[in-house]
Structure 1
Amino acid sequence: MKLMNLRFKVNSWLGKDVYKELLSFSDFITRKEGVSIFEINEDKMKNNNYTPIDVIEKLKELEDVIDKNDLTNIENFLKDSIGVSLEYDGRFIILRSKLFLKPYLEDFKAKGKYNSTHKYYQFEPFLYLDLKEHLISRGLIVDDKTGIFIENKLPRQLNFNGELRDYQEEAVKAWVSNKNRGVIVLPTGSGKTIVAINAMIRLNVPTLIVVYTKEHIRQWEDSIKKFTDAGGLIGSYYGDEKTILPITITTYQSAFRNIGLFSKKFMLLIFDEAHHLPAEKFKAIAMKMPSPYRMGLSATAVREDGKHEEIFPLIGGIIYQKSPSELSEEGYLAPFVIRRIRVELNKEDMNKYDELRKLYINYSKGRSFDEILEAARRGETNAIKALKIKSQMQQIIQKSSAKIEKVIEIAKNELSRGSKIIIFTQYRDQAEELASKLNAYLIHGGIDEKNRLETLYNFKNSKSGILVITTVGDEGLDIPDANVGIFVSGTGSRRQFLQRLGRLLRPAPGKKSVLYEIIASRTSEEAQSKKRRSGI
């Protein structure tokens, strides 16, 4: 950039301070006929940390006394010489410039893809604001042609009608200090939704809330109405309901299908149950939306497949977390105990299990389960056989008659004490068997929504009783007075275990909760149990 002879005329006497500031980026050349002439000095600009934008802004402050043609010429020259433009084609942020941009992008946190034919860079939309701020910090003039967030505030300032607990306030502050980005990890029942609503009110910008089910949409609507005065500003977008308002709640599926529709409208994204994001199409929501402010909510900081490490940075990384034990000790969650109950498989089941274990060892060839899974994806015969055998082993363990008998014994004992019990199982047939033998309420994926809601309503309004539920209850189940859980069958997932435990932890006077974990001795469930209980 050559700034030789880039001059401007000042048609007035200048105060001492203004004159001194002009000399920070220009030289005084002469004064004749009542006009002072200055020339831009590039070395002074660099030495005094003046960017071209700073120069233009300062000269515009004096536009009443600076020759208008000089001001226009300087602005056009600087924009042409060190200007860049940002565009948004619905898929990528496009960066164009006459400059050789590579040196300006070397220290940016993400590499853009260079189109050599049309001579522009393209970046994933989630990098939009970071890229814009980076280019400005490097002294470039950014012409933003994206049309993103033209109106970036809610129609009115909303008020928060609640009171945050100490840890909730800490979580919001951690998020704000991280540029209004990040994942907050708190147990089920600890008020993650309230944290997000408070953060939304503080920012007061158009917000898209992404949730997993239609039931979650209703829960969020109710919570926003309860804790804010946002009436009239809340819309829902899913299925047949397609209302987009400044605060819109949608499902992961709907958000994925309508990224183009949502992308320019919302500055804040809130991902409820953020552990779902690693699914490839859901990941696209985080990558293809340019929203600069993001919050993820989850009950667990990790996924067993490790994919949280690639997704959470798209939201801002984990910035705050508390475990169930910590919040229970502080009195915010009900005190609880986890009781591991071991049962012995009958002789026939144990023999089948041992035979299958030998076959599994033979086909797995010493590899870890993740390695076997990857090999199976590639079509390796031995790995595919190993996975089938692993599934058969799990069925023997988790559906054993010994487990059923122990669950019935514990449930009847707790029911006699007036407990309100939730039995968690992985399998529909097992759930149906237990519900039949215990005369219990039953919810699984094969029951239509109307009957599920009716069953849930009846159980919630009973003083005691038993609800048997499959994985459809791992998220969104809200039974505040449930105090006993029985974990019959599941995975080694910490997330699933924490979610099931969280169903029992809503605090109440005198409430103490217990989660029974039924495991088969001398089987792989021993290791699974240890894995899923870590971090609690």
Structure 2
Amino acid sequence: MKLTFDAGSLLLSGDTSLLTQHCIEQLVYDNRVDAWRAPAWAYSRIRQQLENLPSTDTCPLDDEVFETPALTVPDTLSVTLRDYQQQAVDSWQANQCQGLIILPTGVGKSIVAIEAIRRCGEAALIVLPTIDLMIQWATQLEKHFQQSIGVYGGGSKELLPITVITYDSAVIMMEYIGDRFPLIVFDECHHLPGAVNRQAAELSPAPYRLGLTATPERNDNGEQLLYKLIGNEVYRREINDFDDGVLSLYDTEVIEVPMTAKEQASYLQNRQQYLDFVRSHHISFSSPYGWSNFLRACAQAPDGRQVLQAFRTQKEIAAASAAKFDKLWELLNQHRGERVIIFTALNKLAYYIGERFLLPVITHNTKAAERKRFLDRFRQGEFTVLVTSKVLNEGIDVPEASVGIIVSGSGSVREHVQRLGRILRPSADKQARLYELISAGSSETNISERRRQHQAYDVASPNNRTTDSPEAD
């Protein structure tokens, strides 16, 4: 029997008569090629079952899925791993080099992965959500392994024994390159369960798999797919498990500001129109399909366009109330000279803040060269404030940033924890601070409460002091 990789799947050919007596999970006969076919991700399981067949001595398995040479790695890394990093890699290795490691932003997840690659000693593909992260990882990998690192994405198409690649490129290329990498690492692996991104794991035969994230849980229960395609959770620690020195001490503060009478009236009018429509069509947003059902109802109803506009208008009024900009200016003056990141949910709002306060803005529309220039100037202190929509929620390593100001955001717990993580990277005598600005009398109050359902915002957390500072009308 011969097992090979074939365009994102496995092909078992040759003398497969044993399979008429023994059922192998995932293998299905493909009469087009007179062979048995299986999804690539099931390689480890299928190989183990084939090797356990009672007659493999007389009909040996010829495994030609991988033909890659062993990776040249140093005996040890040039940095000393912290206890939790060592424990994380030990747990992953004990689980046959498969599984999820869950650690907060800023505690060195990349070092954990680099040590895992070193111990595994196999060609490795590191899959990343952004080009910024890809370049950041390539620099760090080259430093530790003292060899050139392949980069695939953002205009580069170089494959080497250790290669970094974006999720987008991995989805497109995995059926062609999957058999070159026995080890695959998914950074920020909460991106993987998406309908498209999951193909980066499904089309790979890699027997060794590592997933890294701070928040694997998803509203659609997609974390179950992570366990299937990467492995079980093998190690986990949360923000409040770490003492000062690993992560910065931090304060979080919710600041409630009033809307003007005109803003309040317009907000209530548009919100009532939206709520009346939702109730009359019996739409429940507690359902995973709530938003889809709402959009479908808007598309079918005569007044659907007006209702959708009312929904957007009430969100925009709350997100950009005039008092928020007054408070933002006050906070920027209060933290003058410190490195500040301003977060918004909307590109339009990010650009407005940038124009109003003459600040650099980074959104998904910002070109890579400009984004790099802004981040470099921020690290060097030439820029002390950056405004962003969502692209800096993850993927930047800026220990100098110590203040985060959320002007608007979603109810996502993951997004909120990621934004906190942007300012928690330790540096000398650093006290991090995260502010949330919410419009009083709006749905932002409930949204804030939902997204704070994480241990990092627990007042009992040793590094955190959470306060609420409502302002009177």
User: Same fold per TM (> 0.5)?
Assistant: yes
The one-letter amino acid paired with 1:522 is: G
Q: Which residue of 2 aligns with 1:337?
A: 251
- Identity among equivalent positions (%) equals 31
Partner secondary structure for residue 483 of structure 1:
strand
Q: Please say if residues 420 and 463 of structure 1, whose CA atoms lie closer than 8 Å, have aligned partners that are also in contact.
A: no
The one-letter amino acid paired with 1:298 is: T
Q: Which residue of 2 aligns with 1:224?
A: 141
Measure the CA separation in 1 of the matches of 2:402 and 2:19: 65
Give a deviation string over 1:198-256, Cα, whole Å, max 9, x none: 0000011111111122222221122113333x324x22222442221111111112212
Q: Which residue of 2 aligns with 1:457?
A: 376
Q: Which residue of 1 aligns with 2:269?
A: 355
The one-letter amino acid paired with 2:254 is: R
Q: Please say if residues 256 and 282 of structure 1, whose CA atoms lie closer than 8 Å, have aligned partners that are also in contact.
A: yes
Partner secondary structure for residue 534 of structure 1:
coil
Of 96, 99, 102, the residue aligned with 1:179 is 96
**Count of aligned pairs:** 444
Shift of 1:103: 4.8
- 5+ long unaligned stretches in structure 2: 457-473
The one-letter amino acid paired with 2:78 is: N
Of 164, 168, 193, the residue aligned with 1:278 is 193
Measure the CA separation in 2 of the matches of 1:236 and 1:143: 38
Measure the CA separation in 1 of the matches of 2:264 and 2:326: 16
Measure the CA separation in 2 of the matches of 1:460 and 1:148: 45
Partner secondary structure for residue 477 of structure 1:
coil
CA 1:467–1:125 in 2, change beyond 3 Å: closer, same or farther?
same
Measure the CA separation in 1 of the matches of 2:369 and 2:160: 28
Shift of 1:114: 4.5
Measure the CA separation in 1 of the matches of 2:184 and 2:310: 42
Of 301, 307, 315, the residue aligned with 2:222 is 307
The one-letter amino acid paired with 1:167 is: Y
Partner secondary structure for residue 210 of structure 1:
strand
- 5+ long unaligned stretches in structure 1: 1-83
The one-letter amino acid paired with 2:115 is: N
Shift of 1:450: 2.8
The one-letter amino acid paired with 2:424 is: L
Q: Which residue of 2 aligns with 1:375?
A: 293
The one-letter amino acid paired with 2:347 is: R
The 5-angstrom pairing of residues 231-270 of structure 1 reads 231-232=147-148, 234-270=149-185
Q: Which residue of 1 aligns with 2:342?
A: 423
Give a deviation string over 1:151-199, Cα, whole Å, max 9, x none: 4511465542111111111111121122111122212211111000000
Shift of 1:414: 1.9
TM-score when normalising by structure 2? 0.86
Q: Which residue of 2 aligns with 1:395?
A: 316
The one-letter amino acid paired with 2:215 is: T
Report the aligned-residue RMSD.
2.6
Q: Please say if residues 376 and 384 of structure 1, whose CA atoms lie closer than 8 Å, have aligned partners that are also in contact.
A: no
Q: Please say if residues 88 and 146 of structure 1, whose CA atoms lie closer than 8 Å, have aligned partners that are also in contact.
A: no
Q: Please say if residues 421 and 464 of structure 1, whose CA atoms lie closer than 8 Å, have aligned partners that are also in contact.
A: no
Measure the CA separation in 1 of the matches of 2:201 and 2:65: 16
The one-letter amino acid paired with 2:260 is: N
Q: Please say if residues 406 and 435 of structure 2, whose CA atoms lie closer than 8 Å, have aligned partners that are also in contact.
A: yes
CA 1:150–1:222 in 2, change beyond 3 Å: closer, same or farther?
same
Measure the CA separation in 1 of the matches of 2:431 and 2:73: 44
Shift of 1:102: 6.8
Q: Please say if residues 93 and 125 of structure 1, whose CA atoms lie closer than 8 Å, have aligned partners that are also in contact.
A: yes
Q: Please say if residues 68 and 181 of structure 2, whose CA atoms lie closer than 8 Å, have aligned partners that are also in contact.
A: no
Of 428, 452, 455, the residue aligned with 1:533 is 452
CA 1:133–1:152 in 2, change beyond 3 Å: closer, same or farther?
farther
Q: Please say if residues 160 and 227 of structure 1, whose CA atoms lie closer than 8 Å, have aligned partners that are also in contact.
A: yes
Measure the CA separation in 1 of the matches of 2:345 and 2:327: 17
Shift of 1:312: 3.9
Q: Please say if residues 440 and 465 of structure 1, whose CA atoms lie closer than 8 Å, have aligned partners that are also in contact.
A: no
Return the structure number with greater relative CO, CA threshold 8 A, min gap 6. Answer: 2
The 5-angstrom pairing of residues 57-68 of structure 1 reads none
CA 1:387–1:124 in 2, change beyond 3 Å: closer, same or farther?
farther
Q: Which residue of 2 aligns with 1:493?
A: 412
Measure the CA separation in 1 of the matches of 2:443 and 2:119: 48
CA 1:117–1:301 in 2, change beyond 3 Å: closer, same or farther?
closer
Give a deviation string over 1:368-408, Cα, whole Å, max 9, x none: 22333232576663596665543332212112212222212
The one-letter amino acid paired with 2:342 is: I
The one-letter amino acid paired with 2:432 is: S
Give a deviation string over 1:265-296, Cα, whole Å, max 9, x none: 10000111212212322211100110100111
Give a deviation string over 1:14-64, Cα, whole Å, max 9, x none: xxxxxxxxxxxxxxxxxxxxxxxxxxxxxxxxxxxxxxxxxxxxxxxxxxx
Partner secondary structure for residue 404 of structure 1:
helix
Give a deviation string over 1:48-99, Cα, whole Å, max 9, x none: xxxxxxxxxxxxxxxxxxxxxxxxxxxxxxxxxxxx5534332322346223
Q: Which residue of 1 aligns with 2:129?
A: 212
The one-letter amino acid paired with 1:183 is: L
Measure the CA separation in 2 of the matches of 1:332 and 1:176: 24
CA 1:132–1:244 in 2, change beyond 3 Å: closer, same or farther?
same
Partner secondary structure for residue 251 of structure 2:
strand
Partner secondary structure for residue 333 of structure 1:
coil
Of 437, 440, 461, the residue aligned with 1:521 is 440
Q: Please say if residues 154 and 246 of structure 1, whose CA atoms lie closer than 8 Å, have aligned partners that are also in contact.
A: yes
The one-letter amino acid paired with 1:269 is: I
Q: Which residue of 1 aligns with 2:469?
A: none
Task: Choose 352-361 or 178-187, whichever is displaced more.
Answer: 352-361
Measure the CA separation in 2 of the matches of 1:459 and 1:104: 59
TM-score when normalising by structure 1? 0.76
Partner secondary structure for residue 280 of structure 1:
coil
Structure 2 residue 408 is matched with structure 1 residue 408: no
Shift of 1:119: 7.0
Structure 2 residue 424 is matched with structure 1 residue 508: no
